[in-house]
Structure 1
Amino acid sequence: MIIDTSQISQIYLVCGKTDLRKGIDGLAGIVQEQYDLDPYSQALYLFCGTRKDRFKVVPCQ
């Protein structure tokens, strides 16, 4: 997936360990429930797993 960076208004780095086995819907749920943010806004959410060299991104729509 190629992300158009001109459409991104904010970038959030979610600190702490996240289970990266969750799909995009599960991670979007974390954004919505734990952080009270809109996962469908023009923002980019970066999640870190237990290993420090792996990230998963919830892209903007």
Structure 2
Amino acid sequence: MTAHRLNHHDIQAIEAFNARARKKAKANRRADRITLVGSALALVALVALGLMGGLSQ
């Protein structure tokens, strides 16, 4: 049995697939970072509001 040899089109398809996967992973990391920063800011805002409310009473 002979092994399948990759031709030029197979290599291009694999490279395109890998490029899409890298782009998607980069977008996911960016979205995760934005979510993390937004959550941290919301938590800080809630704590600040809680402290201000506690001080005013």
TM-score class, shorter-chain normalisation, is under 0.3
The alignment's TM-score, normalised by the length of structure 2, stands at 0.22
By relative contact order (CA 8 Å, sep 6+), the higher-ranking structure is 1
> Which structure's CA Rg is the greater one?
2
The alignment's TM-score, normalised by the length of structure 1, stands at 0.21
Tell me which protein shows more strand as a share of its residues.
1
